[in-house]
Amino acid sequence: MWKAIKETLPHSTNSDINAIYDDCKLRAGSMTIATILNKYFTSIGKKIQKVFTNLPTIWPDNIKYNYPSEFQLLSVTSDYVESELLKLKSNKSAGLDKISVRMMKDAAGVIAPVLTRIINNSFLNGCFPKRWKSAKVFALFKDGERTSKDNYRPISVLPAVSKVIERIAHDQLGSYLKENSILTSTQFGFRANRSTEMALTNFTDDILKHMDNKQVTGVVYLDLKKAFDTVNHQVLMKKLKSVGVQGQTLCWFQSFLSNRSQQTIIANSLYESLKITVGVPQGSILGPLLFIIYINGVQSCLENCRMVIFADDIAMFCPASTAVELQAKLDFDLQGVMNWLRNNKLLLNVPKSKLMIIGNSRKLKEFANIQLIANDAPLERVQNFKYLGVVIDENLSWKSHIEKLQIKVSQRLGILRRIKHLLPKHARIIFVNTMITSLLDYGSLVWGDKKNKIMMDSLQVLHNKAAKLVLDRPMLSSSSDALRMLHWSTLKQRRSIRKCLYVYKSINGINDIDNTFIRNADVHGYNTRHKNDLRPMKSSTCKGLLRSNCDFIADWNLLDENIRNSSSLSNFKRAVFKFFKSI
């Protein structure tokens, strides 16, 4: 199925690289191209770090060594290592050692005892195995001119065996960070039971609250230039020490980061190996966790604003009633962020960072002259911006997002129409679920419904077309019959189910966020019929009613008491699906 799809879509691989510009000259030959790209990939972080060479280094003073307790990597058993081996994904490429994941899984019982000794000795001696630090890099073409090295992105593949030791270290460090509440609650990236949709819900709930209070919200979308590739190892080690990583474990992380190298592969051939001296290792399991430790203090420099962070995607925002107030608040906190970034050797990408003022259309006219300066350059003010995969506009109307969504879904329906004769029914269903329904679901907790009936109906029309294509029925045939034959819910039913799942997870502590939902019984002691219903937040405007603790509650309160009290998430999912299918 996917082969047919790939033949329909435009695609590229690194084997398409026939020539590339370097020093204003067009170069050819696999070895030459691989060398040029490898030098380029390994130089990105170093070039950005040079910006900070002549700046005063004051970052050590910002890092407090008041860790709650000491973290040490602990030894593991052979059974535990074997279970980690079996969890590896079989479809992953082999690294430079050419040992496939499939082979490791097949021989897990034999490998585990030896690998356990290596891992435990590695932790004990604070030394990461040298052979596991070399990466194989593929050059992935993005877009633009194929002869420009700027248009290629490195995809790094590490030895599969390194993933096992990294996963063990990651899980131990992650548990320690969670138990001691070290990571900021504003960071949603690379954390269990947190997601982009939770970040978006948190973000838009605050904006809707400000709109309900007759205020506007100033938002600065901050783009960090090659953030993962420019992590300074000295600073990172200081930060690890500040959260309690000590002794041989600290040495182990230093060893993990240092003396890494990579080789770029072109036309199935590997060439020159180059050292990597900055950044967290791409393609690693520990890299993302180390990055969020690195960036963890950025919110501490704020006086007026809040942040919602997903890895290196940062939205800084604050409410205001007047233009003078908003200008002062944003100026002060943006300067604080700039200082923090400089102290931590990270660079703001000013051309890609944007300013947006969100509020009522009439109110926004008073804020027409707001302007922010960063690194002596103005931030572009935009009317809409794609944040975490959702287009947010200055009125929070979702019109731009839904229009773009309609175009993307229509394109994918066109692909399905062209290849449906090649696919059996079950493969068409997989295509729709993977390529279309996932798009229609993503972010719908924040943009779905919201009193936009016409736009919601237009998306349902596309969903109906997908059902008819799966069944190979005429477009003018009955939509409800097609949905019924496939046992598909409508998009509105899917949104209601997803809202109730969000509430259930929040109430029962599955979502790793503060629960903002309260029952009527928590507010008064009257033994009423609705005492166990959730209580919507008070709102004075229509926008205020769109917050999650109003909007989601309407669907939740429809559920029977026995459904709400389901003993497990799986039981709740089955019950809530059945409930909304029946109404």
Q: Give the domains, in start order, of the chain with CATH numbers.
A: 19-195+227-293 (no CATH), 196-226+295-382 (3.30.70), 399-488 (no CATH), 494-582 (no CATH)
pLDDT band at 12 (very low <50, low <70, confident <90, very high): very low
∠ at Cα 495 (577, 511), nearest 5°? Answer: 85
Length of the chain, please? Answer: 583
Question: pLDDT at position 266, please?
Answer: 87
Task: Write down the pLDDT at residue 447.
Answer: 96
How confident is the model at residue 336, as a pLDDT?
96
Average of per-residue pLDDT across 558-570: 95
- For range 563-579, the mean pLDDT: 96
> Residue 163 has what pLDDT?
95
What is the distance between the alpha carbons of residues 419 and 8, in angstroms, rounded to a whole number? Answer: 8
pLDDT of residue 451: 76
Measured in whole angstroms, the distance separating CA 301 from the mean position of its chain's CA atoms is 23
| CA–CA gap between residue 184 and residue 297 (Å, rounded) | 8
pLDDT for 14: 46
Average pLDDT over residues 544-550: 91
Rounded Cα–Cα distance for residues 582 and 450 (Å): 23
The continuous run of DSSP H or E covering 223 comes out as: strand 216-223
**pLDDT, tens digit, 9 for 90 and up, residues 284-310:** 999 999 999 999 999 999 999 999 999
Across residues 446-460, what is the average pLDDT?
A: 90
Q: Which residues, listed in sequence order, are joined to residue 380 by a DSSP beta bridge?
A: 354
Sign of the Cα pseudo-torsion (151, 313, 209, 560, in order) = positive
Are 556 and 503 within 8 A, CB to CB? yes
pLDDT tens digits for range 37-73: 888 889 988 888 888 776 655 544 455 556 667 999 9
pLDDT over 70 for what percent of the chain?
93
Contacts of 347 (CB under 8 A, 6+ apart): 48, 51, 224, 225, 226, 230, 341
Average pLDDT across the chain, whole number: 91
536 and 551 in contact (C-beta within 8 Å)?
no
- For residues 354 and 530, give the distance between their C-alpha atoms in angstroms, rounded to a whole number: 46
**Rounded to an integer, what distance in angstroms lies between the CA atom of residue 367 and that of residue 133?**
52
Nearest CA-CA partner of 250 in 77, 126, 333: 126
The mean per-residue pLDDT over the stretch 334-346 comes to 95
Query: Contact, 142 vs 150, CB < 8 A?
Result: no
Cβ neighbours, 10 Å, residue 574: 13
Across 99-122, average pLDDT = 96
- What local confidence, expressed as pLDDT, does residue 314 receive? 98
How confident is the model over 101-120, as a mean pLDDT?
A: 96
Does the structure show a pLDDT above 70 at 6?
no
What residues contact residue 313 under an 8 Å CB cut-off, 6+ apart? 189, 387, 388
E strand or H helix at 380: strand 380-381
Distance CA 498, CA 295 (A): 31
